[in-house]
Amino acid sequence: MQAQAQQQTTFGRLLKLWGSLRKYGVYLGLIGLCIILTIASSNFLTVKNILNVVRQSSIIAIMGIGMTFVILTGGIDLSVGSVLAISSVMTCYTMVTLNLPIAIGIVVGLLVGTFFGVCIGLLITRVGLPPFIATLAAMSIARGLVLVVTGGRPIFGLPKAYGWFGGGYVAFIPTPVAIMAVLYAIGIIILRKTRLGLYAYSIGGNEEASRLSGVNTNKYKVIIYGISGLAAAISGIVLASRLRSAQPLAGLTYELDVIASCVIGGISLSGGEGTLIGTLGGALVIAVLRNGLNLLNVSAYWQQVTIGVVIAVAVAIDTMRKKRQTKV
């Protein structure tokens, strides 16, 4: 009996330690992962590879901004990968097929992504669909529209200047990384200093209490899903620029990596807890993990298995921590 109590105490301490590390512990894990991969592969710790990792992480990290807002409210968005695809396709279609300027193409892509996000928010708040069902439906619709517009074929022939967004530099910083940094700065300010950020946490913590205190929860949910769609659109525009084309299968399974980034970064799937700094760390962990597995010649199939296991472990630990807090 005493041994069992001691075991529970030890387990409780471990959960408490996890709770203390939730905000920034992901960066300790990132450092540890980098050390392991540096030992395992001589090609990992090179300037070229590190820049490649950071550039690759920017796509997932940007989508992670919107996903963080959504999960903080207690929701989920499974459509981000497909919204990325339709936004990138419409951007490129506008520039190539309609022969319109780059600026108009980008605006069209941003509007398409935001439109999908707002529609999802309305399906959840007005129609009453659960976030899982609403975003699953949007995922299917967006991916279907991608295939309708492209006929299943990539769109090539993009303007040369458009390549700057995905392959250029701001001083010595890759453009995607600079865009990511600016968006994270804006996102952090919104979460910490505005009503939208405050209400995102309060809705996720207790939506009914927020509603009773006078918060228009439906309005802010629609705005937040709109932000998620906008973030996915920005990622799509950057990705199409980097690939110099709009690919019909772009963003496939990206939602898994985005959700994993949030969970690894300490965002609670039950809502109300987490930071964008944590999400950024989670995105870097995912990018480093994928890059390291590639350098070690691990199959892409096993990489997907690894990401799934990481998500399961992170969610399981968070769930156990929540249960313990409830008991206390």
Which of 223-227, 311-315, 324-328 has the least mean pLDDT? 324-328
Q: Is residue 210 part of a domain?
A: yes
Q: Which of 86-100, 285-299, 300-314 has the lowest mean pLDDT?
A: 300-314
C-alpha of 105 from chain center: 23
* 21 falls within a domain: no
Q: Average pLDDT of 116-132?
A: 97
What local confidence, expressed as pLDDT, does residue 136 receive?
A: 97
pTM for this entry = 0.90
Residue 37 in domain: yes
**How many other C-beta atoms are found inside a 10 Å radius of the C-beta of residue 148?**
11
Q: How far apart are CA 24 and CA 174, in angstroms?
A: 25
**pLDDT given for residue 240 in this prediction:** 97
pLDDT band at 5 (very low <50, low <70, confident <90, very high): low
How high does pLDDT run on average in the chain? Answer: 91
Residue range 167-181: mean pLDDT, rounded: 94
- Residue 20 located in a structural domain: no
Q: Classify residue 19: in a domain, yes or no.
A: no
Structural domain of 287: 27-322
Lowest mean per-residue pLDDT among 3-7, 138-142, 270-274: 3-7
**What would the mean pLDDT of 284-289 be, rounded to a whole number?**
93
- Through-space distance between the first and last CA atoms of the chain, rounded to whole angstroms: 20
**Paired tokens of 291:** 């890059």
Q: How far is CA 104 from CA 90, 92, 96, 99, 239, in A?
A: 11, 10, 12, 10, 17
Share of the chain above pLDDT 90, in %: 74
Q: Is the pLDDT assigned to residue 8 strictly greater than 70?
A: no
> 239 near 59, Cβ under 8 Å?
yes
Q: Is 99 part of any domain?
A: yes
Name the token pair of 321: 């921590």
Structural domains of the chain, count: 1
**What are the tens digits of pLDDT across the range 199-235?**
999 999 999 999 999 999 999 999 999 999 999 999 9
Look at the chain and count its residues.
328
CATH code, domain with 237:
1.10.3470
Query: What span, in angstroms and rounded, lies between the C-alpha atoms of 173 and 302?
Result: 32
What pLDDT does residue 7 have? 58
Whether residue 184 has pLDDT greater than 70: yes
* 315 pLDDT tier (thresholds 50, 70, 90): confident
**Would you say residue 14 lies in a domain?**
no
3-state DSSP assignment of residue 237:
helix
Per cent of the chain over pLDDT 70 is 91
Question: Can you tell me which residue has the tokens 């319109």?
Answer: 100
CA 19 to chain centroid: 22
* pLDDT score recorded for residue 312: 83
Residue 243 lies in a domain: yes
